Amino acid sequence: MTRKQKRLSVIAGLGLVIALAAVIIFTALSSKITFFYSPSELKESPVAIGQHFRVGGLVKENSWVKDGKTNNFIITDNESDVAVIYVEILPDLFREGQGVIAEGALNAKGVFIASNVLAKHDENYLPKEVVETLKDRGEWQHGAEENTDAVTEITETTEGTNY
């Protein structure tokens, strides 16, 4: 091989590795990300059954029913509701009327089967996405806003994906 051929083959090899890395990254990006929807967005543009996503809002008052290990509750943005089933122990600061994010998929009956539920440690906490949704819907009062800036931490129950 001449010097030039050698150089070209090295560059081609490096290019191939970079191209492969790019393919891996972008394939993973299209299949491994999780979308976030509010209950209203879910009503407007329904998500396919079995597709993994996150839904967030407030836990509706008087909606939490516990049957053995099974928790039934409703997530609301004060406009639309989503019924959620979660068969695990809920995080410590799960309360009716408080902000929450559930991760999972819809079943055939339109019930959200959660594999993971996130709630914040701070009593005043609302998840950032939930705040934005409520702001969009005009449900958000100012003044309460300062509290959310001070927030730090989400507890979680099953797998570590997010603080």
Partner 1 sequence: MYIEIGHFALILAFAISISQAVLGLIYWRSGGRIAAFVKSAAIWQFVLVSISFAVLIIAFVKSDFSLLLAANNSFSLQPLIYKISSVWGNHEGSILLWVLILVMFGAAVAVFGRDIPNDLRTLVLSVQGILGASFIGFSLFTSNPFTRLNPAPFEGADLNPILQDIGLAIHPPLLYVGYVGFSVCFSFAIAALISGRVDAAWARWVRPWTVASWVFLTLGISMGSYWAYYELGWGGWWFWDPVENASLMPWLAGTALMHSAIVMEKRSALKIWTIFLAIITFSLSLLGAFLVRSGILTSVHAFASDPSRGLVLLALLALFIGGAFTLFAFRASSLRAGGLFAPISREGALVLNNLFLASATAAVLIGTLYPLVLDALTGARISVGAPFFDLTFSILMVPLLLVLPFGAFLNWKRSDFLSVTQRLAGVAALSLVVTIVVFILMGVKISLAPLGLFLGFWVSFGAIADLVYRAKFGRITFVKAFKRLFALPKSAWSMALAHFGMGILVLGVVLVSTGESENITSLKLGETAELAGYSVEFTKSEVLQGPNYLINHFEFDVKDKNGNIRHAVSEKRVYTASSMPTTEAAILTYGGVSQLYIAVGDADEVGNQVVRIWYKPYILLIWYGTIFMALAGFLSLSDRRKRIGVALTTKAKQAARNKQEA
CA dist 29 → 94, 100, 101, 111 (Å): 31, 25, 22, 27
* 128 interacts with partner 1 by CB under 8 A: yes
Taking CB under 8 A as the binding criterion, the range among 76-84, 105-113, 116-124, 138-146 that sits at the site for partner 1 is: 116-124
Q: Are strands 112-120 and 81-86 parallel, antiparallel or unpaired?
A: parallel
Does position 161 interact with partner 1 (CB under 8 A)? The reply is: yes
| Selected binder of partner 1 within 7, 49, 50, 87 (CB under 8 A) | 7
* Tokens at 44, concatenated: 């407007």
Task: Say whether residue 70 binds partner 1 (CB under 8 A).
Answer: no
Residue 79 · residue 137 · CB < 8 Å: yes
Is residue 146 a contact residue for partner 1 (CB under 8 A)? Answer: no
Catalogue the long-range contacts made by 64-69 (C-beta closer than 8 Å, 24 or more residues apart).
Answer: 64/96
Q: Which residues bind partner 1 (CB under 8 A)?
A: 3, 6-7, 10, 13-14, 17-18, 21, 24-25, 28-29, 32-36, 54, 66, 88-89, 91-92, 121-123, 127-129, 132, 149, 151-153, 155-157, 159-163
